[in-house]
Structure 1
Amino acid sequence: MNPARFIGRNERFELTRFELNKRLSFIGLELSERGKFMKVENTSTISEAEQRVNRFKSKLEQRNVHSKIYEYCNAELLSENYFHSVFEAVKSVAETIRQKTNLFQDGSELIDIAFSIKNPLIQINDLSTETKESEHKGFANLIKGVFGMFRNPTAHSPKIVWKITEEDALDIMSTISIIHRKLDYKK
């Protein structure tokens, strides 16, 4: 389990470490991301071992987050890497929009084209009233805000500068989950 043996295969390392740590927790050990053993409090049940190993993913499951979150950032979730989990989850929004529209743009330009009121490529409702149009515009602005606040800083700042707590990561992931649920709307 020396991390150097997994260069270019980080997801495999994290999945293996995740499974190993579930078992090690019964004897009070945990293998760190650096490949070093650390003492931890012993677990006595399978569910306790699974929750300890992946508290973050377990909390996301309790919140019933959208399946796209797991699809795009499973390895980051398993390693409880909040910074990269958020980064990958936000990128999943842009990628989902591109897949639905066949557009290649990014950021605000992608959102403006995809969610225009006159010729929307994606709709989150039937746009039949002023209120529904307002909701549609607000949703587009929410996505732009998520990009500006959570994708751009993670893309341009090292994680030692742009720190993110578990609580913030959970809230951000919940917001991204709402976005994916709205993107699932069918006319």
Structure 2
Amino acid sequence: MTTAKNTYAVWPHATVTAIADVLADTSDGLTGREISLLLSQIGIAEAEGPNKRERLARALWARQIRDQASNCVVRFIAEAMAPVRYTQKLDVFSRRCDDLNEVLVHIGLRVNEAGKVARGPVASTLGEAAQHANSLRAELRRRGTHHQVLAYCTREILTKNAFHASLEATKSVFDRLRQLTGEQRDGSQLVDAVLMPGSTGTPRVAINSGATPTETGEQKGFASLLKGLASMYRNPTAHDPRLNRPVSDDELLELLTTLSMVHRRLDHARVQP
């Protein structure tokens, strides 16, 4: 990682570019002005480029080549990730750490809770990188978790709160059923009202045509699945003390994967007025 003089070895071009992609991301990264101020603060000349990510990558790469050391990149990361910058934005800090660590794990480094670059595990494959980064968010992204699920639990996941994430994510399904139908009920009553055939013989939200006994059974099974999810996660976690309802990371990932499947079926459901 370093020599006796605390000089960091040159990082691969792909690594420097990936670091710039994270820190200068169009949606979640530093602004162009913030990048310029940080570069000036640590004495790195700005570079030309079509966008802020290219400019940052070129500036860091040029200085690294000039120095024949990656100290400039390490320092830029440390300044950009200084915890004082995120006093009111802990979710942003955690998200950037996760994304940086997915990159740094390939060269045996990581960003720690103090925002500093430190030694870490080495990964050679993308599967190992996701595991070593120890990031629920990274794993959820790898699995292609449905955006409706993430919209309800992203903040909880980023603060490493699996207990409340399970509650919020499960809410997403029932909120969506209400949005689709205008129904105001909740839990099992909501499921019965919109997913079961009822007196008309046709559910208000149908995941298939219902033309065969097999499809009718699938519709009822889908409804039963949602009732089970409500009983397991929605109701207990809403009322039980946190310590009495532990939810592991593995359980949370499995729950969110199941909820993603539910939302994808709802994506293509037929809704009766």
Say yes or no: does 1:68 pair with 2:148.
Answer: yes
Q: Pairwise CA RMSD of aligned residues?
A: 3.1
**1:103 aligned residue (176, 183, 195):** 183
Residues 101 and 121, structure 1, Cα contact 8 Å, conserved in 2: yes
Say yes or no: does 1:167 pair with 2:250.
Answer: yes
**1:80 aligned residue (147, 154, 160):** 160
Distance 2:227 2:209 in 1: 21
| TM-score for the superposition, normalised by structure 1 | 0.78
Say yes or no: does 1:135 pair with 2:215.
Answer: no
Distance 1:157 1:91 in 2: 16
Distance 1:111 1:119 in 2: 14
Any unmatched runs of 5+ in structure 1?
A: 7-11
**1:14 aligned residue (73, 87, 91):** 91
User: Deviations for 1:57-98, whole angstroms, at most 9, x for unmatched residues?
Assistant: 111122222111121111122223211211111000000000
User: Deviations for 1:29-68, whole angstroms, at most 9, x for unmatched residues?
Assistant: 532xxxx7899644789x8998766611111122222111
Q: CA deviation at 1:115?
A: 0.9
Distance 1:115 1:163 in 2: 30
User: Deviations for 1:83-119, whole angstroms, at most 9, x for unmatched residues?
Assistant: 1211111000000000001010001110000012124
Larger radius of gyration: 2
Q: Quick one: which amino acid aligns to residue 96 of structure 2?
A: E
Say yes or no: does 1:121 pair with 2:121.
Answer: no
**2:231 aligned residue (141, 145, 148):** 148
How many pairs does the alignment contain?
Answer: 176
Q: CA deviation at 1:17?
A: 3.8
Structure 1 residues 170, 179: CA separation in 2 closer, same or farther (over 3 Å shift)?
A: same
Residues 100 and 110, structure 2, Cα contact 8 Å, conserved in 1: no
Runs (4+) of structure 1 moved beyond 4 Å? 20-29, 36-40, 47-54
Q: Quick one: which amino acid aligns to residue 164 of structure 1?
A: V
110-119 vs 52-61, which moves further: 52-61
Q: Quick one: which amino acid aligns to residue 138 of structure 2?
A: S
Residues 86 and 169, structure 1, Cα contact 8 Å, conserved in 2: yes
Distance 1:58 1:75 in 2: 14
User: Deviations for 1:93-148, whole angstroms, at most 9, x for unmatched residues?
Assistant: 00000000101000111000001212411000011111101100010000000000
Q: Quick one: which amino acid aligns to residue 94 of structure 1?
A: F
138-147 vs 115-124, which moves further: 115-124
| TM-score for the superposition, normalised by structure 2 | 0.56
Q: Provide the secondary structure at the position in 2 that maps to 1:160.
A: helix
Residues 156 and 162, structure 2, Cα contact 8 Å, conserved in 1: yes
Structure 1 residues 62, 23: CA separation in 2 closer, same or farther (over 3 Å shift)?
A: closer
Distance 2:213 2:164 in 1: 38
Any unmatched runs of 5+ in structure 2?
A: 1-82
Partner of 1:158: 241
User: Deviations for 1:150-186, whole angstroms, at most 9, x for unmatched residues?
Assistant: 1111111122221111111111111111111111124
Distance 1:23 1:61 in 2: 15
Distance 2:101 2:207 in 1: 46
Structure 1 residues 186, 138: CA separation in 2 closer, same or farther (over 3 Å shift)?
A: closer
Residues 18 and 79, structure 1, Cα contact 8 Å, conserved in 2: no
**2:112 aligned residue (26, 30, 38):** 30
Distance 1:87 1:71 in 2: 13
